[in-house]
């Protein structure tokens, strides 16, 4: 997505040692710049700051350092990338839940080099990104069975971050119980509310009591700790292995197409890269008859293909904010064609992020 880590290289081995040697003062300074200045101010500022440090502490001419400064960009997610060992702290990716949860797995697939950090709630995850305790968030935003994940959706407008990527995961819950137990023993099923909602009809038919927990993987841990054959967890099939649980029933879902859409959030304002063809926005409309219909009509006439629309309460009583995802011609020009100028009946427009569509 055009968010990458600059590499600063100089031609002389002695100078490279001055910059990158892990135990050197210069190496520590550059590492600090890599983890703070770059994330705060961007590539240009990072390179300028390192060039100054090189000229101050290493015997390198300005022309050599300028010609050697370079940037690498690793894919649409802005992953840290380098051609040599660099003493820069690893990226931290936050998610909601515990190890082996769906979010944990998706975070590892999208950001394989990042350290994954779990949080007990979505609110805590958003606070961690705002406080710079993590560099990215990987969060579920909607499911094909239960709809939007509202604790995530409702925080997007106020969050000091933007969506930089999306991914979809087919979700096939399994019923996990203690070793030696049987489906007939189960009386209570524990899981995250979203997972329980995706199997609500099946649980009702079986007569199982649904108990909400903060996370699917957390439910697995709780069932293992209880050691009770009447207790089971609804979770990823593989998540029980570490706790000695067994799969009692597979595909515990109400709809065969059960799929969850995840988004990656990064600090800062939205950026639009050349291959970005999907954008998420939120807006409010003027309080006049047909205002929303006029907005949607105008977006369509400008080339937007709406893939989702949802209304949520705004900060004012009985006023609503609309969340819309749409596919558009790629790049900044394609997005500008749709949103510049904003449709006349929009009162407030929030661009939540642009990214490559992961959905056919």
Which has more pLDDT, 233 or 52? Answer: 233
d(CA 41, CA 37): 6
Using one digit for the tens of pLDDT, what is the confidence trace for 219-271? Answer: 999 999 999 999 999 999 999 999 999 999 999 999 999 999 999 999 999 99
pLDDT of residue 316: 86
3-state secondary structure labels for all residues of 79-97: ECCCCCCCCCCCCEEEEEC
What is the three-state SS of 50-80?
HHHHHHHHCCCCHHHHHHHEEEECECCCCEC
Confidence of residue 332 (pLDDT cuts 50, 70, 90): very high
**Exposure of 62 by Cβ count < 10 A (0-12 exposed, 13-18 middle, 19+ buried)?**
exposed
**Do 10 and 54 contact (CB within 8 A), yes or no?**
yes
CA distance 100 to 104: 6
Supply the pLDDT for residue 90.
85
Q: Which residues of 251-265 are buried (b: 16+ CB within 10 A; e: fewer)?
A: ebbbeeebbbbbbbb
Encode pLDDT of 117-139 as tens digits. Answer: 999 999 999 999 999 999 999 99
Mean pLDDT of 46-59: 50
**pLDDT for the residue numbered 287:** 83
Give yes or no for residue 54 having a pLDDT over 50: no
pLDDT in tens, 338-353: 999 999 999 899 999 9
Position 20 pLDDT exceeds 90: no
Q: What is the DSSP letter of 37?
A: I
Q: Is the peptide bond before 341 cis (omega within 30 degrees of 0)?
A: yes
Identify which has the larger pLDDT, 26 or 225: 225
Look at residue 1 in the predicted model and tell me its pLDDT: 37
- What is the number of alpha carbons within 13 Å of residue 142 lying toward its C-beta? 15
Portion of the chain with pLDDT greater than 70, in percent: 75
Percent of the chain's residues with pLDDT above 90: 72
Q: How far apart are CA 351 and CA 186, in angstroms?
A: 47
| Domains with residue ranges and CATH for the chain | 5-72 (no CATH), 91-168 (3.40.190.10), 174-249 (3.40.190.10), 270-360 (3.30.70.260)
Q: Which residues contact 55 (CB under 8 A, 6 or more apart)?
A: 62, 65
Paired sense of beta strands 278-285 and 209-212, if any: unpaired
Concatenating the DSSP letter of every residue in 160-188 gives SEEEEEEEEEE---EEEEETT--GGG--E
Active site residues: 260, 262
Check whether 62 has a pLDDT greater than 90.
Answer: no
pLDDT for residue 306 is more than 50: yes
Residue 51 — very low, low, confident or very high, per pLDDT cuts 50/70/90?
low
| DSSP string for 107-165 | HHHH-TTSEEEEESSHHHHHHHHHTTS-SEEEEEEEETTTEE-HHHHTTTTTSSEEEEE
Q: Cα separation of 149 and 136, whole Å?
A: 18
Kind of pairing, strands 245-249 and 174-178?
antiparallel
Q: Element (H or E) spanning 49, and its range?
A: helix 43-57
Q: Summarize pLDDT for 156-169 with one digit per residue, the tens.
A: 999 999 999 999 99
Residue 27 clears pLDDT 90, i.e. is over it: no
What tokens appear for 45 in the block?
């500022």
Select the more confidently predicted residue: 287 or 293.
Answer: 293
User: CA 7, CA 22: separation in Å to the nearest integer?
Assistant: 16
pLDDT of residue 23: 36
Task: Please enumerate in sequence order all residues whose Cβ is within 8 A of that of 83, keeping only pairs 6 or more positions apart, or say none.
Answer: 7, 72
pTM assigned to the model: 0.75
* Mean pLDDT estimate for the chain: 82
pLDDT score, position 313: 94
Given a cut of 50, is residue 17 above it in pLDDT?
A: no
Question: How many angstroms separate the CA atoms of 200 and 216, rounded?
Answer: 15
Q: What pLDDT score does 48 carry?
A: 53
């Amino acid at each position: 997505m055009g968010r990458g880590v600059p590499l600063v290289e100089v031609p002389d081995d002695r100078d490279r040692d001055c910059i990158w040697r892990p135990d050197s003062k210069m190496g520590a300074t550059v590492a600090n710049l890599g983890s703070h200045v770059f994330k705060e101010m961007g590539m240009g500022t990072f390179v300028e700051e390192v060039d100054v440090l090189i000229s101050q502490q290493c015997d390198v001419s300005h022309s050599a350092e300028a010609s050697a400064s370079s940037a690498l960009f690793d894919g649409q997610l802005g992953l840290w990338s380098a051609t040599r060992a660099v003493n820069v702290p690893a990226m931290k990716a936050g998610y909601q839940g515990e190890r082996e949860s769906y979010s944990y797995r998706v975070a590892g697939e999208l950001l394989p080099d990042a350290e994954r950090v779990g949080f007990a709630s979505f609110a805590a995850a958003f606070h961690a990104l705002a406080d710079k305790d993590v560099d990215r968030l990987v969060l579920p935003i909607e499911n094909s069975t239960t709809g939007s994940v509202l604790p995530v959706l409702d925080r997007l407008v106020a969050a000091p971050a933007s969506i930089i990527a999306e991914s979809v995961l087919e979700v096939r819950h399994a019923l996990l119980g203690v070793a030696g137990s049987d489906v007939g023993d189960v009386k209570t099923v524990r899981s995250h509310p979203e997972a329980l909602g995706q199997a609500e009809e099946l649980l009702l038919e079986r007569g199982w009591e649904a108990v909400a927990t903060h996370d699917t993987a957390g439910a697995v841990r709780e069932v293992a700790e209880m050691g009770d054959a009447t207790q089971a967890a609804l979770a990823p099939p593989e998540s029980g292995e570490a706790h000695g649980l067994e799969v009692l029933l597979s595909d515990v879902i109400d709809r065969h197409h059960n799929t969850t859409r995840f988004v990656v959030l990064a600090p800062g304002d939205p950026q639009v890269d050349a291959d970005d063809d999907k954008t998420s926005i939120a807006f409010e409309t003027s309080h006049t008859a047909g205002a929303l219909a006029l907005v949607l009509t105008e977006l369509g006439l400008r080339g937007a293909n709406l893939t989702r629309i949802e209304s949520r309460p705004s900060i004012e009583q009985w006023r609503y904010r609309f969340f819309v995802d749409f596919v558009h011609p790629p790049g900044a020009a394609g997005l500008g064609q749709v949103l510049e100028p904003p449709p006349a009946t929009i009162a407030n427009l929030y661009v939540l992020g642009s990214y490559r569509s992961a959905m056919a």
